[in-house]
Amino acid sequence: MAKEKKDISMSVIKRLPRYYRFLGELKKQSIVRISSRELSQRMGLTASQIRQDLNCFGGFGQQGYGYNVDQLRQEIGSILGVGSDFKTILIGCGNLGKAIASHMVFEDRGFKLIGIFDSRADDMKDLRIKGLSVSPMEDLEVYCREAEPSVAVLCIPSDSTAPVVEKLIALGIRNFWNFTHYDISSHHDGVVVENVHLNDSLMTLSYQILNQ
Amino acid sequence: MAKEKKDISMSVIKRLPRYYRFLGELKKQSIVRISSRELSQRMGLTASQIRQDLNCFGGFGQQGYGYNVDQLRQEIGSILGVGSDFKTILIGCGNLGKAIASHMVFEDRGFKLIGIFDSRADDMKDLRIKGLSVSPMEDLEVYCREAEPSVAVLCIPSDSTAPVVEKLIALGIRNFWNFTHYDISSHHDGVVVENVHLNDSLMTLSYQILNQ
DNA sequence: TAGATTGTTAATCGATTAACAATC
DNA sequence: TAGATTGTTAATCGATTAACAATC
């Protein structure tokens, strides 16, 4: 039933997870159907925008009725690839890496954590995160040839990121969840990068506080 | 010299931290001056956009010369409030909260962490993060009346966030760095919220992998 | 059938890009 | 002065909102 994907704009994509979240809430509250108007009021959007967004992918609604909450949620989930199983490795197991690995429900979102690497793995002999031990960076090459992960989560210091990315790309990894400040996209083409720049976020907050 | 701030769009604001970062890099490389054209090539933007963005705030450049790297960096830093000193408390000291508190260079970005709270503070008697111990949530009210923090960082489970936000707002806190999935803006007006929705980010990555 | 609400087209608004006169 | 590059206005492009015919 889903439409041929044309070229959906990033603005739309970025809104999808939020729809997914709100629909999950509605489902929890045992709400079965919802109109674009009602959803728009809850989410602080226009009904028009919701209908436009959803119609990028197909006619999920029904005239005179609205949308079926659970069905719509599943459709959006499938568009976002919630049911995927991307083999993922974590590079850098310091405070942040540890938190990301143990805190995030990777599996719920289509990512399967299969390996953890850190340059000081020696100091982490006894550490286990989700049953995984921490391997030294030297093992990366052999490991990747065997396990063929497709995604790397980067939680290493920004200034040592460049050569690591170089290596990962050489080993065939094309998808990055990047917590460093290193600007992967401006150095490499044909690579998928989702940045989480916490410092940038903090500075945006700071601006908003000063100019509210 | 800075212009009267009209109403700068969020699109522009969100780009400023990235400018700040690139200018920091250039400074490190002892580059003194840069033209919008050269900067645009390094950052993968158009020169036009850079000039437009910067001119929202004032004429930082000089015709025939370009921009002075260090001066421009400082101007942007000051727009973003890098030199501020917002009193900040952390709510929730689990894996993520711990990582955020110890990993982030709050101070460099205008935020001063002055207190940490967790509902299970009893189990964290010996924990010290940046010299701070973890206080129980019951102490929040008295503490806020005394110390008057203006920013709260939320690293608690999403489903217990609503009442905590309620309380913090009652205690006069209006600015939030929100790592939970709870949608503060849709429940409260006149509040500054900067969201870091890691799950949303992960889902966006997933979409991009499937549709690259 | 009448009422409700979608899917979709048209109108508006905002953001990005192009162009160029001002000026260092 | 001539060359370079900004600041700024105008043109284009894209995203959001409004409107309404289609239809459940």
**What digits encode the pLDDT tens for the residues B152-191?**
999 999 999 999 999 999 999 999 999 999 999 989 999 9
Kindly report the pTM of this predicted structure.
0.94
**Assigned CATH for B5-79:** 1.10.10.10
Nucleotides of C under 7 A from a protein CB: 2-9, 14-19, 22-24
- pLDDT at residue A1, rounded to an integer: 35
Q: Does B24 touch chain A (CB under 8 A)?
A: no
Contact B88, B155 (CB under 8 A): no
> Alpha helices, DSSP H only, in B29-154?
36-43, 47-55, 69-79, 95-103, 140-147
Question: Does strand C come within 7 Å of the CB of A63?
Answer: yes
Give CA–CA dist B44/A75, Å, rounded. 34
Residues within 8 A of B (CB atoms), A 53-72 only = none
Question: Does strand D come within 7 Å of the CB of A12?
Answer: yes
Question: Is the predicted pLDDT of residue B3 greater than 90, yes or no?
Answer: no
Question: Does strand C come within 7 Å of the CB of B45?
Answer: yes
Per-residue pLDDT tens for B190-209? Answer: 999 999 999 999 999 999 99
Lowest-pLDDT range of A89-98, B74-83, B97-106, B159-168: B97-106
Tell me, what amino acid is at A143? Y
Question: Does strand D come within 7 Å of the CB of B47?
Answer: yes
Would you say domain B86-200 falls under CATH 3.40.50.720?
Answer: yes
Give CA–CA dist B173/B144, Å, rounded. 9
Question: Is the predicted pLDDT of residue A33 greater than 50, yes or no?
Answer: yes
Shortest CA distance from A151: residue in chain B = B209
Domain ranges of chain A: 5-79, 86-200
Per-residue pLDDT tens for B42-77? Answer: 999 999 999 999 999 988 999 999 999 999 999 999
Q: Does B199 touch chain A (CB under 8 A)?
A: yes
Give CA–CA dist A49/A171, Å, rounded. 42
Question: Is the predicted pLDDT of residue B125 greater than 50, yes or no?
Answer: yes
Give CA–CA dist A83/B64, Å, rounded. 55
Six token digits for residue B212: 């690259």
- pLDDT at residue A6, rounded to an integer: 56
Per-residue pLDDT tens for A175-203? Answer: 999 999 999 998 999 999 999 999 999 99
Per-residue pLDDT tens for A104-138? Answer: 777 788 999 999 999 999 999 999 999 999 999 99
Q: Of all protein residues, which has its CA closest to the C1' atom of D18?
A: A48
Average pLDDT over all residues of chain A: 94
Q: Which residues of A touch B44 (CB under 8 A)?
A: 185-186
Does this chain's domain B5-79 share its CATH topology with B86-200? no
C-beta neighbour count of A190 within 10 angstroms? 7
Give CA–CA dist B99/B102, Å, rounded. 5
Query: Is the dihedral angle over the CA atoms B89, B93, B95, B101 positive or is it negative?
Result: positive
